Amino acid sequence: MTEPIPANVGRGLTRRVLAFAGLPFLSLITPFLFLPLLARVAGAEAWLAIAVGQSIGGFFALAVSLGFNTVGPALVALTPDEGRAAVLVSSIRARLVVFVPSAVLAAVIAALVVPDGFALVGALMSLAMVLTGLSSSWYMIGLGRAALIAVFEIAPRIVATLAAAVVLLVSSSVLWYPAFLIVASVASILGFAVWTMGWRGLRHPGHAPVREILLANRSAVATELAAGAYNSLAVTFVSLTASVAQAASYVVGDKLYRIGQYSVSALGNALQGWVVEDNRQQFAQRARRSFLLHGALGLSGLGAFALIGPWLSVVLFGSAVAIDLPTALGLGVATLGIALGTTLGRITLVGLGARREFMTSVFIGAAVGTASILVLSGLYGAAGGAWGLALGETASVTAQSVFLRRVWKRAF
């Protein structure tokens, strides 16, 4: 029988979840001050160019992050205070090595893929997204300090997005949106590094050379890139196989899907370090609690898509690019899948040291998801892309469930 959780532990968990879920919610909502304007003012092709740039840049950002989004929070949480600065410095140096070629490649691909006349918009948007791979939010998560994320990650993006919305209303130019985001990202990355260690601290020798980090994190990088192959790149795949109108509609669904995804991510960020604390003395109990919370959140997302998804897309983005019910249902199922995958994979399997099993499950999801999106979006447009994404998430969660059953028996 599971022992009851003490009241003070429950209150601490509640505060932690609210901190990590509440503050990032501001960052999540802020783009909706700009994106509806973009959909209505700039037209479907500009809308699609921005989305494709985000998609491609987001994928390459996963390479730049070097898996620290997966392994970093637990690493920081378990590292003594005096050793944490070395972890941050080493990660920055290693990620900068990967950033330059990734940024160039992402910009070139985006410029070639986006609709004619919007190559520069797509390239700049991809660059803005690749820069997020240099973010140190994983370090802040490991510290358990959500306020740092608000100051160094959220606030700069809010300012950049509001500025872009004003410029769009005045000039109808979409170029300023990625440009402002690039400036905000650079300021955020540099600002946190200097605030944490000072200018002299940036010359810290670090805890490991670049080559050692690349080798140590290779499984985490492979895992995140595999997930991105059918998640981050879904918009790009749909744009290549469906009509512009259907692809623009899928982009709307994708923006709503990100609300569910970021909500799951915020909950996962709050619990990832918490579950592995205290030398696993409470791991099993906390892992079960994580599963219940993520399951409830995923079911809420599915219900929200089914009940208000199409209506909300009309209200926010207009009827010309709104999603239909089949598309909404597919994205709802994908939201449930990513919620369950976060708790079963990123939190529990990784927390138990089963990185290989986690990586394998993500590869399975990537293979199923990528093929399904490409085939189904060509046949059924936006709805096909949504259900292709859902199939990928479902395949990954199924594999994680099988692996976790085996690993759990060995651990407990």
pLDDT in tens, 293-310: 999 999 999 999 999 999
* C-beta separation of 288 from 4 below 8 A: no
What value does the mean pLDDT take over residues 48-58? 91
Which residue has 């990928």 as its token pair? Answer: 392
Structure tokens belonging to residue 274 = 């918490």
Domain identity same for 30 and 146: yes
What value does the mean pLDDT take over residues 38-63? 86
2 is a domain residue: no
322 is a domain residue: yes
HSE, CB side, 13 Å, CA atoms: give it for residue 102. Answer: 27
Q: What integer pLDDT is reported at residue 394 of this predicted model?
A: 96
Q: What integer pLDDT is reported at residue 222 of this predicted model?
A: 82
Q: What integer pLDDT is reported at residue 387 of this predicted model?
A: 97
Q: Which residues of 175-189 are buried (b: 16+ CB within 10 A; e: fewer)?
A: bbbbbbbbbbbeebb
pLDDT band with cut points at 50, 70 and 90 for residue 342: very high
Domain identity same for 176 and 290: no
39 is a domain residue: yes
Q: What integer pLDDT is reported at residue 230 of this predicted model?
A: 75
Residue with the bigger pLDDT between 412 and 88: it is 88
The yes-or-no verdict on residue 2 having pLDDT over 50 is: no
Q: What integer pLDDT is reported at residue 99 of this predicted model?
A: 95
Alpha carbon distance 267, 224 (integer Å): 18
Domain identity same for 256 and 367: yes
At 139-165, the pLDDT tens digits run 888 887 777 888 888 889 888 988 988
Domain containing 185 equals: 19-216
Structure tokens belonging to residue 331 = 């994205």
86 is a domain residue: yes
Q: What integer pLDDT is reported at residue 310 of this predicted model?
A: 96
Domain identity same for 280 and 363: yes
Domain identity same for 182 and 246: no
Alpha carbon distance 43, 169 (integer Å): 13
Alpha carbon distance 404, 346 (integer Å): 11
Alpha carbon distance 324, 89 (integer Å): 47
Domain identity same for 191 and 226: no
At 195-211, the pLDDT tens digits run 887 777 666 655 567 77
HSE, CB side, 13 Å, CA atoms: give it for residue 277. Answer: 14
Domain identity same for 169 and 204: yes
Domain identity same for 268 and 403: yes
What value does the mean pLDDT take over residues 35-62? 85
What value does the mean pLDDT take over residues 222-236? 82
Q: What integer pLDDT is reported at residue 46 of this predicted model?
A: 85
Domain identity same for 288 and 176: no
The yes-or-no verdict on residue 6 having pLDDT over 80 is: no
HSE, CB side, 13 Å, CA atoms: give it for residue 365. Answer: 34
The yes-or-no verdict on residue 167 having pLDDT over 50 is: yes
Q: Which amino acid is present at 373?
A: I
The yes-or-no verdict on residue 44 having pLDDT over 70 is: yes
- Domains: count for the chain: 2
Q: Is the pTM of this model over 0.85?
A: no
The yes-or-no verdict on residue 16 having pLDDT over 70 is: no
In the DSSP assignment, the letter for residue 3 is P
Q: What integer pLDDT is reported at residue 5 of this predicted model?
A: 46
Domain identity same for 95 and 238: no
* C-beta separation of 53 from 179 below 8 A: no
What value does the mean pLDDT take over residues 128-145? 88
Contacts of 80 (CB under 8 A, 6+ apart): none
Of residues 50, 52, 89, the one with CA closest to residue 68:
89
- Report the range out of 54-58, 212-216, 231-235, 259-263 with the highest average pLDDT: 54-58
Instruction: State which of 216, 236, 262 marks the end of a domain.
Output: 216
What value does the mean pLDDT take over residues 362-377? 94
Between the alpha carbon of residue 387 and those of residues 316, 383, 390, the distances in Å are 22, 6, 5
Domain identity same for 93 and 211: yes
* C-beta separation of 125 from 160 below 8 A: no
Structure tokens belonging to residue 397 = 């969660």
Which residue has 């040291």 as its token pair? Answer: 353
Q: Which amino acid is present at 198?
A: G
Alpha carbon distance 383, 403 (integer Å): 31
Structure tokens belonging to residue 163 = 């500025």
408 is a domain residue: yes
What value does the mean pLDDT take over residues 278-286? 77
At 388-397, the pLDDT tens digits run 999 999 999 9
At 76-126, the pLDDT tens digits run 887 887 778 888 888 888 899 999 999 999 999 999 998 888 999 999 999
Name the average pLDDT for the chain: 85
Q: What integer pLDDT is reported at residue 106 of this predicted model?
A: 96
318 is a domain residue: yes
257 is a domain residue: yes
Domain identity same for 190 and 307: no
Of residues 126, 120, 115, 138, the one with CA closest to residue 224:
138
Alpha carbon distance 338, 215 (integer Å): 27
Instruction: State which of 168, 186, 216 marks the end of a domain.
Output: 216
Instruction: State which of 216, 234, 253 marks the end of a domain.
Output: 216
* C-beta separation of 258 from 32 below 8 A: no
Query: Lowest mean pLDDT: which of 14-28, 142-156, 173-187, 300-314?
Result: 14-28
74 is a domain residue: yes
The yes-or-no verdict on residue 4 having pLDDT over 60 is: no
* C-beta separation of 345 from 286 below 8 A: no
